[in-house]
Structure 1
Amino acid sequence: MAKVENAFADFIVGGDFHDLPAEAVGMIKKVVLNDLGAVVGGATSEGCPELLEMVTRWDGREEATVLVHGQRVPAHNAALVNGAMMRALDIDDHMPPGMHVGGSALPAALAAAELAGGCSGRELVTALALGFEMAIRINEQSHYDGFDPSGVCGIFAVTAAAGRILGLGRTEMLNALGLGFTRPVQTFQAIVDRTTAVRVGQGVIAQAGLVAAEMASGGITGPGDFLEGVYGYFRFYGAGQYDSSKLLAGLGEVFHLDRVAFKNYPSCGQTIAATDGILELIQRHDITPDDVLEIRVTVTPYTYKMTGKDFVIGNNPRVDAQFSIKYCLANALLRRGSLLRHFDEDFVRDPRIMDLAKKVQITADPSLEGEALGSSLRTDLEVVTISGHRYSISVPIPSGFAGNPLSEERIVERFREAAGYGGRPLSREQADKVIAAVQRLDEVEDVRELVGLLVSMPISRAILE
């Protein structure tokens, strides 16, 4: 009967900006600012220029803008490239157990806005908030077992946001969500193998969601029982344990956007607690690299599988470092911080890093795992010094996650770092304009104004000093 699916379609199509709590509006503004910084910083990262060259070669109608670079390409291809750039530095928004939503939903929504001939900032906020809420509710009832939630679940937020901006009706939205369900099925193998497919995959999700919305707009139908059907979403990702009453409880009245997390450091979410811990111990005890005999780390089995293996530099040094607790600890200990430039290849290949990484011993403890796989990020650290001192810390919730959120000032600071990074940084004046536009996003008449601010000029980093 598609009861749940119909309820979500009604929610996406019928929701109004005035229905959104102030906290939800504020969270979406944070998502937009954070992720726009991410797209600037990642614009020239490995794999992204190659993807842009490919899309440019494909040619086609000039419907939407490739952010930062400025090329006009078909809308779905703009979403593809923008999504890849947004994920490249792994600093886009996310939530346990590794679902990145804004990195696909925002590129698709902006491309849809250009395709539709414009869209108010208020409508962009509404579309994203409704899409996020749907994905969050489904995510909290899901068991992925190695599948990447950014694609299998995040696609609903992407499709919903794009479809809403394109003006889909109830039946069209139901078809779009069903079509989205049939699209990207990704696993964490790209992360385990440390490949740039991680970032490109984020763009594929953005492209797929926008295409699903366009297909539905053109009359193509999708499965109506895409969630609860015999071969629907929960047949594969619900492990027979989902509760449809919880899925819809308070829909339209209660929002859960406080689940969204922001990276305090430019690495995998599973590494953040370890970085928090070592930086706190450094501050408390003035620990230096020369002091350290051994660093003992205890994490959940899920965290260990994703980021706990030996640090090895392969074909993609940044990705190798982003997804390695051993690198993140060595880096923080050596440089007393964790910045975007610390994941550049020359920093990653610093021989002192490898020496320190070899002193890190990581153990997986099943007792630390939460009720849902990947829901617990608790990390315990002990630093043993050459002089015999032992310094310990337990980090139950990493900075930036629900229960330990970043301040608005810190999110602005992180935006500025990202916007001033990479091969095509924004000028300080451009960055200021983006911040101001996002802060008044619900008052912006046309978000194409925001898109225009995100086209940079190649300038010397020295100008930003």
Structure 2
Amino acid sequence: MELENRLVEYAVDTKFSDIPQKPVNVVKEIILGIFGSIAAGAYSGECVSLAQLLKEMGGKPEATILIHGGKLPGHCVAIANATMAQSLDYDDAVVPGVHIGCVSVPAALAAAEIAGGCSGRDFLTALTVGIEFANRLNTINFASFYGGFHGTGVCAVFGASIAASRILGLNAEQMRDAIGLALNWAGGSGQNNVEGVHAVSIVAGIASQGGIFSAQLAQRGVTGPRQFLEGAKGWASMFGTSKVNPELVTGELGTRYELNKTLFKKFPSCGLTQTSTQGILEIMKENQVTAADIDKIEVRVGPFASTVVGHFEIGRNPTMNAQFSIPYCVSNALTRGSSELTHFEEAMVRDQKIAGLAALVHVITDPAVEKRDQRAMEMDVRTKSGQSYHKRIDVPRGSPGNEMTREEQIARFRQCAVFGKKPLPEKNIASIISMVDAIENMADVRDLIPLMIP
């Protein structure tokens, strides 16, 4: 149980002063991004239905449903806020499509309300430790893409559990039980993404709910498996093909931060569509190509990307069908010159101009491309006049080494904050930006909550 012991020790003992500035800055960007994605996604179809159902069920008023308002039990609020955060797929992610912030931040915020308050420094520490723990698990299996499981449900539940446990004040033994209990919430199907259904975001909600619920159970003495990682039926056996590299999981723990590899999306669609969207926009800018010029576009991606986003059919959820489609994202950028949240609303998705252009976009499966990066792509554009243009992008804008600027991050948050049915007032937007930027100086992070209810 050496690896489990080391991970629990890290989860319990890490202090804010132990954390380097880089991961602190990354977690601040995650928090700001999640607040924005919650505001943007709050009135998506599944989020409205979920919020209504939870309010009908009622319960102890422990924490606040953001944007919608109202108080419910903490685990109910976690599933609601996390689902909102993931519903438009404009939140942070790590390869191979694991969304940790949308699961961890809502659980931590609910825990802060249950605990009667939490300083910004403690909030940052709890989230940094939890998110890093989830990232360390992800290193075990990201190369095989979790088979049919959904990486968010498999990994991010632990980020939520640890963050909530820290804020609720669990001791080492309770923390270990909380992590073990969280193992029983790990799961979710990747088929949700392939079909573009609402269950994609519900997976994040369930993981967040499981995270805070496991912490509350452990706080009350409920036990979980101690060998949650390397046990005969532990996480590695269930999701990691039993192959655990100790160096990847616990090497330089506390100094090397896997969370620094977080992707902050430039465009509001699946991470696997980012390079294709970026590529066509660059070709347009560099060569003055327009939609009217296109004869054919070929996009080469790896098998995983081809399966998840290599198609475009409008089904029961047009927004998600478009978000998880390279043909749509490329055609949209060609037609509208950008990629914005409004472009994924149903009326925009059903535009016949887009459908006609999408038929000219051919996604080709190429295993060699995937060896460079899961998100890598090569694009060949042929025009009606016979011109050909080639673009290769291995990692998208917003990735480590190609980070978005602070100004781009703020612009992204502002776009989200005013997109939804209930846009946030400008004074609220400005306050959230400044408060999150200096969150380590906040006496109580609950002061952010009223700003998220327009």
TM over 0.5: yes
**Unmatched segments (≥5 aa) in structure 1:** 457-465
CA contact (8 A) 1:380 1:393 kept: yes
Report Cα offsets for 1:105-163 as digits up to 9, x if no partner: 00000000000000011111100100111111110111411211101111111111111
- Report what 1:347 is aligned to: 348
Q: 1:353 and 1:107 mapped to 2: Cα distance?
A: 36
Map of 2:131 onto structure 1: 132
Partner residue in 1 for 2:316: 315
> Alpha-carbon deviation of 1:246?
2.9
How far, CA to CA, are the matches of 2:148 and 2:156 in structure 1?
15
SS at match of 2:45: coil
Q: Deviations over 1:92-111 (max 9, x none)?
A: 11110010001010000000
Which residue type is aligned with residue 140 of structure 1? T
SS at match of 1:387: coil
CA distance in 1, matches of 2:416, 2:364: 33
Aligned partners of 1:113 and 1:119 also within 8 Å: yes
Measured against aligned partners, the alpha-carbon deviations of 1:337-394 in whole angstroms (never above 9, x if no partner) come to 00000001111011000000000011010111238xxx53111011100000001110
Match of residue 292 from structure 2: 290
Aligned residue identity for 2:106: P
% same residue: 38
Structure 2 counterparts to residues 259-298 of structure 1, below 5 A: 259-298=261-300
Pairwise CA RMSD:
1.0
Q: Which residue of 1 aligns with 2:23?
A: 24
Unpaired runs of at least 5, structure 2: none
Offset, 1:236: 2.5
Q: What secondary structure sits across from 1:334 in the alignment?
A: helix
- 1: CA distance between counterparts of 2:202 and 2:181? 21
Structure 2 Cα separation of the partners of residues 214 and 124 of structure 1: 17
Q: Counterpart in 2 of 1:161?
A: 163
1:401 offset after TM fit, Å?
Answer: 1.7
**SS class of match (2:223):** coil
The two structures have a TM-score, normalised by structure 1, of: 0.96
Contact 1:34/1:93 (<8 A) preserved: yes
SS in 1 for 2:140: coil
Kept after mapping to 2: 8 A contact 1:95/1:401? no
Asked whether the 8 Å contact 1:397–1:403 carries over to 2, the reply is no
- Relative to total residues, which structure has the larger helix share, 1 or 2? 2
Q: In the TM superposition, what is the alpha-carbon distance from 1:5 to its structure 2 partner? A: 1.2
What are the residue-to-residue correspondences of 1:54-133 with 2, within 5 Å?
Answer: 54-133=53-132
Amino acid across the alignment from 1:354: A
Distance in 2 (CA, whole Å) between partners of 1:86 and 1:451 is 15
Determine if contact 2:139/2:248 at 8 Å carries over to the other structure: no
Residue 24 of structure 1, CA deviation: 1.0
Q: Which of residues 135, 150, 153 is equivalent to 2:152? A: 150
Equivalent position SS for 2:193: helix
Q: Distance in 1 between matches of 2:85 and 2:147?
A: 25
**Counterpart secondary structure, 1:250:** coil
Q: Is 2:272–2:374's contact at 8 Å kept on the other side of the alignment?
A: no
Q: Contact 1:101–1:154 (CA<8 Å) still a contact in 2?
A: yes
Query: In structure 2, what is the Cα distance between the partners aligned to 1:194 and 1:253?
Result: 38
Offset at residue 277 of structure 1 (A): 0.2
Aligned AA (2:61): E
Aligned equivalents of 2:179, 2:51: Cα separation in 1: 27
1:368 is matched with 369
Match of 1:333 in 2: 334
Deviation, 1:209, is: 0.5
Write the distance in 2 (CA, Å) between the matches of 1:43 and 1:241.
Answer: 39
* Deviation for aligned residue 1:194: 1.2
Counterpart-to-counterpart distance in 2, 1:43 and 1:287: 36
**Are residue 412 (structure 1) and residue 410 (structure 2) matched?**
yes
Give the CA deviation at 1:253. 2.7
- Runs (4 or more) in structure 1 with deviation over 6 Å come to none
Matched, 1:205 2:207: yes
In structure 2, what residue type is equivalent to 1:382?
A: D
